[in-house]
Copies of this chain bind each other. A is one copy, B any other.
Amino acid sequence: MSAYPPVKIGILGLGTVGGGVTRVLARNAEEISRRAGREIAITHAAARNLDTTTANTAGIKLTEEGLEVVNDPDVSIVVELMGGCEPARTFVLRALANGKHVVTANKALIALHGNEIFAAARAAGVMVGFEAAVAGGIPIIKAIREGLAGNRLEWVAGIINGTANFILTQMRSKGRDFPEALAEAQKLGYAEANPSFDIEGMDAAHKLTILASITFGIPLQFDKVYIEGIGRVTHDDVAYATKLGYRIKHLGIARRDENGVQLRVHPTLIPQRQLLANVNGVMNAVLVKGDAVGQSLFYGAGAGAEPTASAVVADIIDVVRTLTADPENRVPHLAFQPDALSDLPVLPIDEVETACYLRLLAQDRPGVLADVTRILADCGISIEAFVQKEAPPTASEVPVVMLINPVKEKRMNQAIAAIEKLASIRAPVMRIRLEYLDSD
C-alpha cells in the first residue's frame, strides 16, 4: 500500500499511558496504517520497572535507560510518557537535538518548559506533538490550533481536571461533603493517594497555560495563572447554587479583555442550562468562543490509559503524515508562527472583573445585613440576588447567600475584608466566582 517503510517509535515510560499506547497501536494497526499511509511500529522502549508493566512488549527492544532510546539512530519518533519535568525534559531535548520528532502527554513539561522545547524543535526542524497534555482524548489542541484557526478567539473555559469534576458531581448528586466525595474518588481510583495536584488546581493550571497559548498566541507562562482549588467548597454551597439555578464547576478560564489575558483556575458557578454545567463525573469539556464560530464545545474523557493513548496516537499519525514535508509549512506548535507570538500581558487576578456568589455566617440580629450591604455599596458593588436560609430557631447564626454583579477582584477583596472585620460576621466569607458563559 505504501512506498514508505514502517516508522519506528521509541517509547519512554511503560506505565498506565504507555501500556495504553502499545495496546491501541497494536489493536488498531490495520486502520491506523490505512489512515497514515504507512505502518507504525514500536521498536524501542525504556521503563524503570520492566517487570511490572502491563504493556505487551513482544518485539520491542527494552531498556531501563531512557538515553538509549533517544540516542538510537533507528528511532524516528520519541514518545515521552514518563510524566514529571526531569528527566523527561533532558530526554526530550536530547531527542530533538538528535533530529527526532517527539510526542508527549506531559502537561507539566509543556506548561513549564514548552518555550524551550519548541525552540529546540524549531532549531532541529522537527515536530513536538502534545495533544494528550490537555483534556486527554479530546482533540482540543487540534480543534483550536487548526479547526478554529480562522477565528479571533475570545475566551476558553474548560472542565479540565476529571478528579475535581468527579468530586463536585458527587457532592451535588449524592449530597456528599468534600472529604467524603474525595474518599470516594480515591476508592474508585479517580484520585491519587496524595490528591493535592488535582484538587488544588495545579494540574488544571498546567493545562490552562497550554490552552491559553494556542488560543491567543502568547508564550507559555504558567507562573502567571491564578489558582484556587475546590477544597473549600462545601455541600451547602453546592446546594445553594442548585437552588439558584447554577452548578459549581472547577473551571480553567482564559479570556482576552481590553488590557490583556486573564488566566484563572477556580470553582465557578455556571447556569444549569449550559451544556458545560451538565458535564459530570470524570468527563472533561472545553468551551471555546470565537468571533466567527460563536461558542463551540468539545467533550470527552480527560484521562485514562486509552483516551490519553487516543491523543498520543493521533499525534504520532500527524507526525508520520508530515515526515517528508517542509517544516516551514507545518502547523506551528502554538498555533501561531513562533516569530509572531504576541506580548499581550497576562492580567493579575486583581484586575479581573467577575460576578460571584458570597456565603456569610451572620449573627441573627437586626442591622447585620444593613452593615454588609452598606460595605458593598461603599465599594460600588451591586447585589443581584439574595437567599436567606431559614435557620433552626435556636441557632445564633444564619447563613446569608447572595449573587454579586460583575466587579473587579480588587474591589471585591476589599469588601470581603471589611465584611470579615464586622463583629457580627463569622470569617471567612465564602466567595465563588460566577460565569454566565453566554456573554461575549
Bound Cα distance A144, B298 (Å)? 13
A293 in contact with B300 given A147-B143, A217-B31, A335-B35 (CB within 8 Å): yes
A85 within 8 A of B: no
A374 within 8 A of B: no
A1 within 8 A of B: yes
A124 within 8 A of B: no
Q: A32-91: which residues lie under 8 A (CB-CB) from chain B?
A: 32-37
Chain B residue nearest in CB terms to A142: B147
State whether A34 touches B337 (Cβ < 8 A).
yes
A329 contact set on B, CB distance < 8 A: 37, 321-325
Bound Cα distance A300, B273 (Å)? 15
Bound Cα distance A2, B336 (Å)? 12
A298 in contact with B301 given A328-B324, A336-B34, A337-B34 (CB within 8 Å): no
State whether B279 touches A336 (Cβ < 8 A).
no
A290 within 8 A of B: yes
Chain B residue nearest in CB terms to A138: B296
Q: Give how many copies assemble into the complex.
A: 2
State which size class the interface on A falls in: 35 or more
Bound Cα distance A316, B31 (Å)? 27
Option from B142, B275, B317, B336 in Cβ contact (under 8 Å) with A299: B275
A252 within 8 A of B: no
Distance between A11 CB and nearest chain B CB, rounded to angstroms = 14
Distance between A173 CB and nearest chain B CB, rounded to angstroms = 11
State which of A20-28, A156-164, A382-390, A393-401 sits at the interface with chain B: A20-28
Bound Cα distance A335, B2 (Å)? 15
A37 in contact with B312 given A24-B150, A131-B147 (CB within 8 Å): no
Distance between A284 CB and nearest chain B CB, rounded to angstroms = 10
State whether A330 touches B321 (Cβ < 8 A).
yes
A165 within 8 A of B: no
State which of A104-112, A187-195, A204-212, A303-311 sits at the interface with chain B: A303-311
State whether B278 touches A317 (Cβ < 8 A).
no
A326 contact set on B, CB distance < 8 A: 324-325
A152 contact set on B, CB distance < 8 A: 27-28, 31
A34 contact set on B, CB distance < 8 A: 217, 336-337, 340, 342
State whether A300 touches B295 (Cβ < 8 A).
yes
Bound Cα distance A337, B293 (Å)? 30
A423 within 8 A of B: no
A292 within 8 A of B: yes
A137 within 8 A of B: yes
A335 contact set on B, CB distance < 8 A: 35
A377 within 8 A of B: no
A196 within 8 A of B: no
A291 within 8 A of B: yes
Bound Cα distance A335, B139 (Å)? 15
Query: Footprint of B on A, CB under 8 Å?
Result: 1-3, 20, 24-25, 27-28, 31-37, 131, 137-139, 142-143, 146-152, 217, 273, 275, 278-279, 285, 290-301, 306-307, 309-314, 316-318, 321-326, 328-332, 335-337, 339-340, 342
8 A-B pairs whose Cβ atoms sit less than 8 Å apart in the complex:
A24-B150, A35-B336, A37-B328, A139-B147, A143-B298, A292-B306, A297-B297, A297-B300
